[in-house]
Each structure stands twice: as structure tokens, then as C-alpha cells.
Amino acid sequence: MAAVLEVRELRKSFGGIGAVNGVSFAVHAGEILGLIGPNGSGKSTLFNCILGQLAPSSGEVRIDGRPIGGMRPCDLNRLGIGRTFQLLQVFPQLSVRENLLLAGQEHEGGMWSRLFGPRDAGLTAAANRMIDFFRLAALAEERAGALSYGQQKLLDVAMAFMAGPRLVLLDEPAGGVNPTMLGGLRERLKAINETGRSTFVVIEHNMEFVMSLCTRILVLAEGRIIAEGAPEAIRNDRKVIEAYLGT
């Protein structure tokens, strides 16, 4: 089966410092791949190289076997690739519903039809479903900037799924979310993965969250993959423990 995402010998250097040093891996349809590693191990740089936010120094990224080097983030999104960022990235001046409409509108029709078509780009029903699914109904008309951090995080994740992507890269979705809300977030991500056959790559520092969500985990240290396997195997891997504890 062809990989949804394939990364081959990816490198990214800033000056003389290698942030990502020859990383290769593949992600298959329906998989939830965890990407963990200590701070500064190159996880977010790797994400940004995959998603066109940063140009890799060398190496190749393929989606469904097709090289995507040089493609802009907006074009990648239209190929069905969604993402969230490490820091909150909602639009504070727009309401929760408008944030979701915005997240889906560029997938509906052409630029001119969006100008002369309906204001909601025909997405109100889809936005309402997403609002209900992420339990944001009571906040639908609130400005996103007025929401609590955890609620904004939920909205941020919901936006990544609004256009029905096949592959979603989530950068620390659990960061700053309280334990009660975290359980809900995990269940929703699992539900989307199971029902929508979406494929996820998740960067996360919360080990309990990542171990209970992911089917496979890659461990990055100093820009290299040092371990790969099932969550239980990674939990007991000596190299991983050394990388985290620095012993």
C-alpha cells in the first residue's frame, strides 16, 4: 500500500546548525503516528519542512507518491493536508463559526464564485456539525479571542478538520489543555480517525496523551530518528529514556 506521506532523507540547516539531519519515514492511510523528542530535537522544523513553511536544505517529501517540494502551504492544504501549530492560531476577531467557515471556504468553488456566492460558502451545516462534534455550540457566535485557552485549542483543532483532510499534522494539540478537556480531545481525534479514515502525525510532549492516541511513535533527538515502534516499546526503549533524561 502506498504511503500517504513519505519523507526521504530530509535535512534542514540554519547556518551551520543542522536542525533536521536526514530524517526518513512513511505514514500509511489511517495511521496515527506520534512524533516525540526533547525540546530542540527538530520536530516543529520537520513539520514546517513537510508543509512548505520552510524550504528543506535537501531531501524529499511525497504525498501519495507525488513529490510536493516547492508547493505553497495553501496548495498543500487544497491537496487535503491540514495542520495545527504549536502556538494557538485562531483568528481572534472572528466568531467561532466564522473561524470554521474560513477554514473550509477555500475548498468550495473558485475565487469568483466565493465573491458572488453565499456568504457562508455553503458551509453552515458543515460548520455546525464541527461545532457540535467539538462541543462548542454554546460559544458558536462568540469571538474566538474571548474564549479560554483550552476552548481556543479545541477550535484550532476543529479548524484543521473543517475541510475534511486526508492527512493532518498536529503540533502539540494537548499543550495547555486541562485534563478533562484533554480526554475529550483524544476521543474526538480517535473518532475522526476511525470514522473518516484520516491519517494523523502528532507532535506531543504529553506522554500519556501520545501513548494512548498513537498507533506508532517516532522519537527524534538532535534532528535524527533514534527510535521507532509501538507505544509500549518506545516507553521502555533505553535510547529514548537517555535522550529525555540526558544520561
Partner 1 sequence: MKPKSGTDHVFLFPSMIRGKRGLSLIFALIAVALLIAAPFGLKPYGIYLLSLWAVMTIAAIGLNLTLGYAGQISLAQASFVGIGAYTAALLTTQGWPLGAAFALAALLCFVIGWLLGYPALRVAHHYLAFVTLSFATLVFLILRNEEWLTKGVYGISGIPRPTLLAWSTKAPQDFYFFCLGVLALASIAAWWLLRSPWGRAFTALRENPIRASSLGIDTRRYTLMAFAIGSALGGVAGVLYAPLVQFIEPTAFTLGLSFNLLLMVIVGGAGRFFGPFLGAAVSVLLPEWLRFSEGLYLMLYAIFVMVLLAFFPSGLLGLAERLRTSWPRSSKSAS
In the list 92, 164, 179, 183, the residue contacting partner 1 (rule: CB under 8 A) is: 92
Burial class (CB in 10 A: 0-12, 13-18, 19+), 211: middle
Q: Select from 159, 182, 220, 243 the one that contacts partner 1 (CB under 8 A).
A: 159
Q: How many CA atoms lie within 13 A of 189 on its CB side?
A: 31
Q: Which is nearer to partner 1, 73 or 183 (CB)?
A: 73
Q: Which of 114, 135, 143, 190 binds partner 1 (CB under 8 A)?
A: 114
Q: How far is the CB of 120 from partner 1 (least distance, A)?
A: 8
Task: Report the length, in residues, of the chain.
Answer: 247
- Judged by CB under 8 A, the stretch of 18-26, 38-46, 108-116, 232-240 that binds partner 1 is 108-116
74 binds partner 1 (CB under 8 A): yes
Which positions ≥6 away from 40 have C-beta within 8 Å?
Answer: none
Nearest to 5 by CA among 205, 229, 166, 158: 166
Please give the helix or strand (H or E) that residue 46 lies within, else none: helix 43-50
Q: Where are the beta strands (DSSP E) in 64-105?
A: 66-67, 81-83
Binding of partner 1 by 49 (CB under 8 A): no
Task: Note whether 106 binds partner 1 by CB under 8 A.
Answer: yes
| Residues at the site binding partner 1, with contacts judged by CB under 8 A | 51, 53, 72-74, 77-78, 82-83, 85, 89, 91-94, 98, 101-103, 105-107, 111, 114-117, 119, 121, 159, 163
